[in-house]
Amino acid sequence: MSLLVVGSIAYDGIESPYGKEDRIIGGAATYFSLAASHFTHVNLVCVVGEDFTAKDEKIFHGRRIDTTGLERAAGKCFFWACRYSENLNDRVTLATELNVFADFNPKIPPKYADSKYVFLANIAPSLQSGVLHQVKKRPKIVALDTMNYWIERTPDDLRETLKHVDILIINDSETRQLSNEHNLLRAAKHIFKMGPSAIVIKRGEYGALLVDKSGVFCVPAFPLEEPHDPTGAGDAFAGGFMGYLAGCGQKSDAALRRAMVYGTVMGSFTVEEFGPRRLVRLKTKEIHARARHIWKLSQFKLQ
Q: Are the C-beta atoms of residues 290 and 269 closer than 8 Å to each other?
A: yes
Interface with its own copies in residues 67-126 (CB under 8 A): 86-87
The smaller minimum CB distance to its own copies, of residues 76 and 176, is found at: 176
Interface with its own copies in residues 228-247 (CB under 8 A): none
| Binding-residue total with its own copies (CB under 8 A) | 38
The smaller minimum CB distance to its own copies, of residues 14 and 219, is found at: 219
| Neighbouring residues of 276: CB distance < 8 A, sequence distance ≥ 6 | 24, 25, 26, 30, 31, 34, 59, 232, 236, 270
C-alpha distances in angstroms, 280 versus 9, 60, 166, 196?
A: 15, 9, 29, 32
Least Cβ distance, residue 267 to its own copies (angstroms): 15
Residue burial 143-162, b: 16+ Cβ < 10 Å; e: rest: bbbbeeebbeebeebbebbb
Q: Are the C-beta atoms of residues 240 and 227 closer than 8 Å to each other?
A: no
Residue 154 in contact with its own copies, rule: CB under 8 A: no
The smaller minimum CB distance to its own copies, of residues 44 and 187, is found at: 187
Amino acid at residue number 288: H
Contacts with its own copies, 23-42, as mask; x by CB under 8 A: --------------------
Residue 292 in contact with its own copies, rule: CB under 8 A: yes
The smaller minimum CB distance to its own copies, of residues 137 and 180, is found at: 180
Residue 19 in contact with its own copies, rule: CB under 8 A: no
The smaller minimum CB distance to its own copies, of residues 223 and 249, is found at: 223
- The backbone torsions φ and ψ at residue 145, rounded to the nearest 5 degrees and listed phi first, read -115, 150
Q: Are the C-beta atoms of residues 5 and 43 closer than 8 Å to each other?
A: yes
Residue 249 in contact with its own copies, rule: CB under 8 A: no
Residue 298 in contact with its own copies, rule: CB under 8 A: yes
The smaller minimum CB distance to its own copies, of residues 111 and 292, is found at: 292
Interface with its own copies in residues 172-231 (CB under 8 A): 182-186, 203, 206-207, 209, 215-220, 223-227
User: In the chain, which residue ranges form alpha helices assigned H by DSSP?
Assistant: 28-36, 54-57, 125-134, 148-153, 155-162, 172-179, 184-192, 233-248, 253-270, 277-280, 284-298
In the complex, the residues that contact its own copies under the rule CB under 8 A are: 86-87, 182-186, 203, 206-207, 209, 215-220, 223-227, 254, 257-258, 260-261, 288, 291-292, 295-302
